[in-house]
């Protein structure tokens, strides 16, 4: 299969003031596009060429660093963009809200756990909400551009919410204040999309 580099689903300034337009432009047009280009280059002629992302990640421990880092970077940002939007914020509803209460006790407790996962990820990486193999929700984090679909991940599962805690995601506006970025990030989460990811993972 071949991969595409989709349009950002909203404008660079759509997440202002929480995530600034310059950060979004660099993040999407330089960082994300760079991962995509290097990933497709690294795949060419490799024994993973033609496989789906899920299949590639399931055997990533045997892949080159270029495929692991750039394939992760390609996929992880697709999840991150698609979890955010200009009409974001608030709290989830319906089946996802019930599952969060069931797994973590409350939405507040989930938010604390997710923020902690992002804040305690040393260096660069992502925090995730995943549907694990037992169809339960779990919070985890991964280093660099790894993700929970990879066979190397501590917690495996289908990612439904991604928090990018690389400095390139926040440094222009928040400098070293990762906790402030994470606090603002809740205001741009599009829970309708996260619910859709949840329903797909559960079906």
Q: Would you tell me which residues interact with Mn ion (CB under 5 A)?
A: 164, 166
Closest CA to 89 of 197, 193, 18, 187: 187
Would you say 100 or 162 has its CB closer to Mn ion?
162
Burial environment of residue 90 by CB neighbours within 10 A (0 to 12, 13 to 18, 19 or more)? exposed
Would you say 164 or 190 has its CB closer to Mn ion?
164
Would you say 77 or 113 has its CB closer to Mn ion?
77
Would you say 35 or 104 has its CB closer to Mn ion?
35
Give the relative orientation of helices 65-82 and 33-43 as an angle to the nearest 10 degrees: 140
> Which pair of tokens denotes residue 87?
């009409």
Helix (H) or strand (E) holding 161: strand 157-164
Q: How far is the CB of 166 from Mn ion (least distance, A)?
A: 5
Would you say 146 or 164 has its CB closer to Mn ion?
164
Q: How far is the CB of 105 from Mn ion (least distance, A)?
A: 30
Q: Which residue is nearest to Mn ion (CB)?
A: 164
Q: How far is the CB of 76 from Mn ion (least distance, A)?
A: 7
User: CA geometry: angle at 126 spanning 16 and 154, to 5°?
Assistant: 160
> Which pair of tokens denotes residue 26?
């660099």
Report d(CA 18, CA 202) in Å as an integer. 31
Q: How far is the CB of 39 from Mn ion (least distance, A)?
A: 14
Q: How far is the CB of 165 from Mn ion (least distance, A)?
A: 9
Burial environment of residue 42 by CB neighbours within 10 A (0 to 12, 13 to 18, 19 or more)? buried
């Amino acid at each position: 299969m071949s991969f595409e580099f989709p349009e950002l689903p909203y404008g660079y300034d759509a997440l202002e003031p929480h995530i600034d337009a310059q950060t979004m432009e660099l993040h999407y047009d330089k960082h994300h596009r760079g991962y995509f280009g290097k990933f497709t280059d690294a795949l060419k002629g490799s024994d993973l060429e033609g496989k789906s992302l899920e299949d590639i990640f399931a055997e990533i421990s045997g892949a080159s660093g270029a495929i692991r880092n750039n394939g992760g970077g390609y996929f992880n940002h697709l999840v991150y963009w698609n979890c955010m939007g200009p009409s974001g914020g608030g709290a989830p509803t319906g089946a996802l809200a019930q599952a969060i209460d069931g797994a973590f006790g409350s939405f507040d407790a989930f938010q604390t756990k997710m923020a902690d996962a992002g804040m305690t990820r040393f260096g660069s990486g992502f925090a995730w909400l995943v549907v694990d193999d037992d169809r339960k929700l779990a919070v985890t984090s991964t280093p660099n551009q790894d993700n929970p679909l990879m066979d190397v991940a501590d917690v495996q599962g289908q990612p439904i919410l991604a928090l990018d805690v690389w400095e390139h995601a926040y440094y222009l506006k928040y400098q070293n204040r990762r906790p402030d970025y994470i606090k603002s990030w809740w205001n741009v989460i599009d829970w309708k999309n996260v619910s859709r990811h949840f329903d797909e993972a559960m079906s």
